[in-house]
Amino acid sequence: MTDQPKPLASPPGETPIQTPDWVKHAVFYQVFPDRFARSSRIKHLPGLKFKPWGSESIHDGFQGGDLLGVVDKLGYLEELGVNAIYLTPIFTSASTHRYHTYDYLEVDPLLGGDDALRELIDKAHERDMRIVLDGVFNHTGRGFWPFHHILENGGNSPYIDWFTVHDWPLQPYPTEKDIPPNYSCWWNLPALPKLNTNNPAVREYLYEVARHWIKFGIDGWRLDVPHEIDDDDFWRTFRQVVKSENPAAYICGEIWSEARRWLQGDQFDAVMNYLFTGPAISFFAAETYRNDYIHPHLPFEPIEADKFASLIDRMYGYYDWEINFAQMNMLDSHDMARAKWITQDDSALRLCVLFQMTMPGAPCIYYGDEVGMTGGPDPDCRQAFPWHDESLWDYDLLRFYRRAVALRRTHECLRVGELTTLHAEGPVYAFSRNLNGSQAVVAFNTSHERVPVNLKPRHLEGPFKQVWPLESHEGHELSGDELSCTIPPRDAVVLVRGE
C-alpha cells in the first residue's frame, strides 16, 4: 500500500481556490463536429459536396457533420448519462478539424452557423447539459482577416504587429516543403501563423472573442496549446474576462504534463488530465497494450498496482482538491489513438472506463468509444460515428458504458468524495471514497483469477451493499476493522454504504 499524499490547499490568508461546482458532477462527451452526426435539417447551398458518411478518414475530407446533428442526438447522449459536451473548434475554418480559424466571431456555415449553435445551447440547457467550446488562441489560419491584410499590404498593413514576420515577401504557400516559413508559425506549419499576443490589440481582440461567446451562452472554454502563450498575465486576464461574464464558466487547458503553474486558482480551473491516461492504460492493459504505439506525451509501460498507485497519488498530490475534482479525465481524444485500439482488449478497456467513472475528476468520453469505435493515430482516430451502420456497434460495450456512467451519477461520493488508497499490490488496486457519512469501496483485479482481498477502510459502521458487478454472487464480509471480498477476474467490486 502506498502512502496517501497530503492534498494541496490554499496558503493561509489567500483566497481559497474555487472551481465550478457543476464540473465536479459532469460526465463530458467530446464531439469532433465534422464526424459526429449530419442533420437533414441543415439546408446548405445547392451544389456543396461532402465525402460519403463513413468514408475513409483523411485530413481534408469533409463528411458534413454539423451542430444540428449534435442537437438531434441529445437524447442518445442523455441516455448514455452525459451532461456536458466539449466541442472541438466550430468557428469558420478551411480544415475539417477547424484549428485553422479564419473568423473567431462566426460559427462555420458548414456546421449550421450561429443559429445552429444557438439551438444546441438552448436544447442542451433544457436537458441540464453544458456546452464547452474549443478556443484556439495561439495561432490562426492563413485566411484570418488580419493575416490576409498583411498578405495584401505587406509592411504597410496596420496589422503588421499582429504576427511576427521574419522576411519578405511572405510565403504562405511555399513551393518546396523543406523551406521554412518566413513568419512565426505553430510547429513551422505555414497554414498556422502564430499570433503575437504581446500586442495589446491582439490581447484585447482575443479577450473580446472569449467574452462574446460566454455572453452568447456557452459554459466554458477548452484552450488549445495554452502553454505556447507563455504569459501568465495573459491567462490571468483571460480568466477575469470569462468569470466576469459567468463565474460558473469552466476554463480547461490542454496541458499534457504536470500543470501546477496554471492551476493555482488564478488561471485555469483544470486541464485535460492526460496524467490520468498513461497510468490507467499502463496498469489495466499491461498485458495487451500496443508497445509499438509511440506518443510524444504519453509513455506507456506495463506496471503493477504499487507503481500505479504511486503515479495516481502523485498526480492528485500536485493540486488543490478543488482542482482535482474539476480535472477532465481522459482515456483518449482527437489527439491520440483510440483507447480500444491501444489496449487491444475489451476487459482492459472496461477496467479503464470503470476506473475513470469512480475516481475524482470529470470523466470525458471520446465520441463513439462507447459503441466500440477504434482507430490508430490521427486521422484514424477521427472517423465518422457509425450511425449509418448499427451492425458496427458493440451493444454490450454501450450497455457497460451506460451502467458505469449511471454508477457515478447515482453515488455522489464517487464524484466529490475524499480519496484514500486501501490496497496496491500485484494485480489489485483498491480505494475508498468518503463523503459526509457515505462511503464507496472500489477494488480492481487485473489478473485472470478470482482474488480475495482484505481491506481496512475507515468508518465501517453499517452494512455495505454491492453495486458492481450486479450479476456477481461473490460475497463480502465485515469482521472487526476488516472488509473482506473476492474480486472476479478482470473486473472490479464496488461496495457502498450510507446512501
pLDDT tens, N- to C-terminus, the chain (499 residues): 333 434 444 444 567 999 999 999 999 999 999 999 999 999 898 999 999 999 998 888 999 999 999 999 999 999 999 999 999 999 999 999 999 999 999 999 999 999 999 999 999 999 999 999 999 999 999 999 999 999 999 999 999 999 999 999 999 998 877 788 999 999 999 999 999 999 999 999 999 999 999 999 999 999 999 999 999 999 999 999 999 999 999 999 999 999 999 999 999 999 999 999 999 999 999 999 999 999 999 999 999 999 999 999 999 999 999 999 999 999 999 999 999 999 999 999 999 999 999 999 999 999 999 999 999 999 999 999 999 999 999 999 999 999 999 999 999 999 999 999 999 999 999 999 999 989 999 999 999 999 999 998 876 677 899 999 977 766 788 776 789 999 999 999 999 998 7
Q: Catalytic residue among 34, 108, 254, 369, which? A: 254
What is the rounded distance in angstroms from the CA atom of residue 162 to the CA atom of residue 194? Answer: 9
For residue 379, is the peptide bond before it cis, meaning its omega torsion is within 30 degrees of 0?
yes
Which residues, including other chains, have CB under 8 Å from residue 387's CB and lie 6 or more apart? 37, 53
Q: Say if CB 295 and CB 342 are below 8 A apart.
A: no
pLDDT value at residue 463 = 85
Give the pLDDT score at 13: 53
* Residue 10 confidence (pLDDT): 47
Active site residue 224: yes
Q: Output the pLDDT for position 9.
A: 46
301 flagged as catalytic? no
Choosing from 219, 224, 322, 491, the catalytic residue is 224
**Stated pTM of the model:** 0.95
- What pLDDT shows up at residue 452? 95
Sign of the C-alpha dihedral, residues 7, 406, 426, 431? positive
Q: Which domains does the chain have, with CATH numbers?
A: 21-414 (3.20.20.80), 417-497 (2.60.40.1180)
Tens of pLDDT, residues 133-171: 999 999 999 999 999 999 999 999 999 999 999 999 999
Q: What is the pLDDT of residue 156?
A: 96
Judging by beta carbons within 10 Å of its beta carbon (0-12, 13-18, 19+), is residue 449 exposed, middle or buried? exposed
**Structure confidence at residue 297 (pLDDT):** 94
